[in-house]
Amino acid sequence: MLRQLYDRTMALAAHRHATWALAGISFAESSFFPIPPDVLLIPMALANRRKAFFYATICTLASIIGGIFGWLIGAFLFDALAQPILQFYGYAEKFDEFAGRYNEYGAWIVFFAGLTPFPYKVITIASGATGLSLPIFLVASILSRGLRFFAVAGLLWWLGPPIRDFIERRLGLLFTIFVVLLFGGFVVARYLI
């Protein structure tokens, strides 16, 4: 089953509309969607190594725009939209305590969350809801998201076929690690915020 999913993802990564899907996932992940864009960035970069940095640029730009959307949700629609999202992810009750400390270290929080499997949408919404300066938010987001996506693209471009062979041979293990990191990010977020 995992092999079929991988083969299908690789085929979709070569589709002519894959770039738009990558942009859509990158945008959505920064404001409300739980799946990171790496699930499409990695197969797309493996399928066409020459475009790896182009795909990283798409991920970065769409993620920043999605982050602005998340910031706007937090700033202007907190009660109507952000509160239910925070409740869905289990963060609502700790949010007031978190907001008090947030702006003091806001730029660093945005930067480190942008690099990790931590649910980035929580940070974008929190940044708007706590009134973190939009320019500070943007600089930290551009640096962290760009670093993250370009590091992934660079490694895939540099390692190319050997990394693809490794992924295909260790698909089960890598899928397990991905799931653990994804859910681990949500668990860590739940107990730290």
pLDDT tens digits along 152-189: 899 888 887 777 666 666 656 666 776 676 666 666 65
pLDDT at position 94 is: 73
- Count of the separate structural domains present in the chain: 1
Residue 141, pLDDT > 90, answer yes
Nearest Cα to Cα of residue 144 among 123, 175, 174? 123
**Amino acid identity for residue 112 in this structure:** F
Q: How many CB atoms lie within 10 A of CB 52?
A: 25
Q: What span, in angstroms and rounded, lies between the C-alpha atoms of 161 and 138? A: 35
Q: What span, in angstroms and rounded, lies between the C-alpha atoms of 30 and 152? A: 17
Q: What is the mean pLDDT of residues 58-66?
A: 96
Residue 133, pLDDT > 70, answer yes
Q: What span, in angstroms and rounded, lies between the C-alpha atoms of 173 and 29? A: 24
Residue 46, pLDDT > 70, answer yes
Helices (H), 14-51: 18-29, 38-47
Cα torsion 84, 86, 88, 90: sign: negative
DSSP state of 15: S
Higher pLDDT, 131 or 57: 57
Residue 52, pLDDT > 80, answer yes
Q: What is the mean pLDDT of residues 37-52?
A: 85
Question: What domain range includes position 81?
Answer: 2-192
Q: What is the mean pLDDT of residues 90-117?
A: 80
- Residue 2: pLDDT band (50, 70, 90) is low
Residue 10, pLDDT > 70, answer no
Buried/exposed code over 124-135 (b: 16+ C-beta within 10 A; e: otherwise) = bbbbbbbebeee
Mean pLDDT of the chain: 81
